[in-house]
Amino acid sequence: LDRTNFVEDILSRTALEDYFMQTRPEWRQSVALWGYHRELWAENGDALSKIYAGTGALNTSFTRTGKRTLAGVLADATKSVSRAYINNFQDKSKQVAIDTFLGNLSQQKPVSIFDPIHDTVTGLLNERIKEYSTTKQIQIFVGTWNLNGRSSSESLLPWLFPRSTTFEPDLFVIGFQELVPLTAQQILQTDPEQKRRWERILMETLARRPNKRAEYTILRSEQLVGTALIIIVRSDITSNIRKVEAATRKTGLRGISGNKGAVGIRLEYHDTSFCFLTAHLAAGHLNVEERNSDYRTIVSGLHFLKGKTIGSHENVVWAADTNYRIELENEVVRHLATSDEIDMLVAADQLGAAMSSGAAFVGYEEGPILFRPTYRYNLNSDEYDTSEKMRIPAWTDRILYRGNSLDLEKYFRAELKGSDHRPVYALFRAEVQIVDHAKRKALQKKLLQAVTATGPDEKLDEKLQSLRIDMPM
């Protein structure tokens, strides 16, 4: 800004001199006029510099007097020291202002600059992605468990390794709900100790599993009161994962309380984007519309940096206590569940109806439900709730997904009994894209040349079809 203001001062004086030459030539010799002119640009430079850098502009004394003096040099040195201090220790608003202008803040939509040539080339690159990329198969474990605010001493191996301990996925995505008792104190000030405790339990389970072939590390975790999401990855693939971010969205008490809500973590594995979410939606058998509303609030209100939303990602997986129930009488549900008459129960499932009507989770898929309802059990028992409330059994715990890269291999529940919910898991194979950036850049250059150099009598489509990437050996 200092240099810009200095150059603008010179341009302004040149323009005025030309104007005076044609109108009032004698004014060109006015000492007072040019003194006011220098003062005007010096004040302008100081004002702009204070907004951006927190101090007056450098070279102000030269702008005011037209001379470089010792006093001016010392003043500029003092300002430079002040700027260094402000930039490193005080000035956060400058970066916020820049991010606001660029649309980088989480609540903003990304800034789009209309550039038809760039947009055309980008579209052509996307159409020819196979020419400069390869694919790789990975395995993802996704699990969800409502802990009912309890600590379990059971082994997690039947849940985390449902096939066998030889199954070693690239990613473990674990969603917990009611990690802590949902008391007023926890809602006001969340205790992170339980999340850390479960992180240790998960890592100890992975470390002690038999036939261990790979090491794992926690990539990222995030907590919203009792809802937590933990992503664990193979240690040898961490260099392939980038742009990891976490975000939360409260839905309790119309968005004020975090007793209900969602946690999301997004990442890019090589050049394919994933968004994983865990959530705890509104409870109550009859509160279907509240659950649908919670879903819409999360989708519209959970944002990552640079305007990224849930819908910005190629692949999205929810592992949640959705709290949707079964629309049948209690006795009927219990009889059908214990008789493994699963199809009749699925037909009365509230979540299935919401998805079919477009009220929630539009565009998502769920694997076939081939297991009994996961809620509500007596603790450490296979018997459904016999307490005074006698809750109707339901599939509250669900895993839903969308994305062309995801292929569901298995969807089931695990028989851990330390909570009134049974944990659920899904095993996915996913195809990730690996872009050769050198090849992409070479093709981009050729496409840009073809688009900009095409004459009115040439056929662009034929010209583009003949383009090939020639990489040096």
> Distances in Å between the alpha carbon of 304 and those of 20, 124, 214, 309, 315?
55, 28, 31, 6, 15
> Distances in Å between the alpha carbon of 14 and those of 5, 27, 186, 212?
14, 13, 68, 77
Asked whether 75 and 55 are in contact (CB, 8 A), the reply is no
261-269 average pLDDT score:
98
Structure tokens at 73: 């040099």
Looking at the chain, the whole-number percentage of residues with pLDDT higher than 90 is: 61
Higher model confidence: residue 43 or residue 335? 335
Judged against a pLDDT cut of 90, whether residue 211 lies above it is answered with no
251-267 average pLDDT score:
89
List pLDDT tens digits, range 396-451.
999 999 999 999 999 999 999 999 999 999 999 999 999 999 999 999 998 888 88
Q: How far apart (Å, rounded) are the C-alpha atoms in residues 64 and 250? A: 55
Scan for tokens 């917990």, then name that residue: 176
Q: How far apart (Å, rounded) are the C-alpha atoms in residues 118 and 115? A: 5
Query: HEC states along 168-235?
Result: CCCEEEEEEECCCCCCHHHHHCCCCHHHHHHHHHHHHHHHHCCCCCCCEEEEEEEEECCEEEEEEEEH
Q: What share of the chain is helix, strand, coil (3-state, %, to 5)?
A: 40, 25, 35
Q: How confident is the model at residue 66 (pLDDT cuts 50, 70, 90)?
A: low
Structure tokens at 30: 């006015």
> Distances in Å between the alpha carbon of 71 and those of 3, 54, 55, 64?
20, 21, 17, 13
In 331-422, DSSP assigns E strands to: 397-402, 406-413
Q: How confident is the model at residue 72 (pLDDT cuts 50, 70, 90)?
A: low
Please state the separation of Cα 373 from the chain's center in Å. 31
Q: Residue 166's pLDDT is what?
A: 67
Task: Work out the number of other CB atoms within 10 angstroms of the CB of residue 43.
Answer: 15
State the Cα torsion 205-207-213-217 to the nearest 10°.
100
Q: Residue 306's pLDDT is what?
A: 84
367-389 average pLDDT score:
97
The helix (run of H) or strand (run of E) holding residue 132 is none
Higher model confidence: residue 20 or residue 276? 276
Structure tokens at 296: 């819409």
Looking at the chain, the whole-number percentage of residues with pLDDT higher than 70 is: 84
Judged against a pLDDT cut of 70, whether residue 88 lies above it is answered with no
Q: How far apart (Å, rounded) are the C-alpha atoms in residues 288 and 146? A: 19
Q: How confident is the model at residue 473 (pLDDT cuts 50, 70, 90)?
A: very low
Judged against a pLDDT cut of 60, whether residue 379 lies above it is answered with yes
Judged against a pLDDT cut of 60, whether residue 39 lies above it is answered with yes
For residue 385, report the phi and psi dihedrals to the nearest 5 degrees: -45, 120
Q: How confident is the model at residue 45 (pLDDT cuts 50, 70, 90)?
A: confident
Judged against a pLDDT cut of 80, whether residue 187 lies above it is answered with no
Higher model confidence: residue 77 or residue 146? 146
Query: Which SS3 state, helix, strand or coil, does residue 17 take?
Result: helix
Higher model confidence: residue 185 or residue 390? 390
Q: Which amino acid is at 204?
A: E
220-241 average pLDDT score:
97
Q: Residue 313's pLDDT is what?
A: 97
Query: What's the length of the chain?
Result: 473
Judged against a pLDDT cut of 60, whether residue 4 lies above it is answered with yes
Judged against a pLDDT cut of 60, whether residue 165 lies above it is answered with no
What average pLDDT is seen over the chain? 88
Judged against a pLDDT cut of 90, whether residue 81 lies above it is answered with no
Those residues with Cβ within 8 angstroms of residue 104's Cβ, 6 or more apart along the chain or in another chain: 98, 305, 306, 307
Asked whether 438 and 471 are in contact (CB, 8 A), the reply is yes
Q: Residue 269's pLDDT is what?
A: 98
Structure tokens at 264: 């999301």
List pLDDT tens digits, range 271-288.
999 999 999 999 999 999
Q: Which of 205-214, 310-319, 354-363 is predicted least confidently? A: 205-214
b/e for 322-340, b at 16 or more Cβ within 10 A? bbbbbbbeeeebbebbeee
Q: Residue 371's pLDDT is what?
A: 98
List pLDDT tens digits, range 296-347.
999 999 999 888 999 999 999 999 999 999 999 999 999 999 999 999 999 9
91-103 average pLDDT score:
70
The helix (run of H) or strand (run of E) holding residue 416 is none
Judged against a pLDDT cut of 70, whether residue 376 lies above it is answered with yes
The helix (run of H) or strand (run of E) holding residue 429 is strand 424-435
Scan for tokens 């981009």, then name that residue: 444
For residue 262, report the phi and psi dihedrals to the nearest 5 degrees: -140, 155
Please state the separation of Cα 315 from the chain's center in Å. 12
56-74 average pLDDT score:
61
153-167 average pLDDT score:
86
For strand 424-435 and strand 272-280, is the pairing parallel, antiparallel, or unpaired?
unpaired
Peptide bond preceding 68: is omega within 30 degrees of 0, i.e. cis? no
Judged against a pLDDT cut of 90, whether residue 388 lies above it is answered with yes
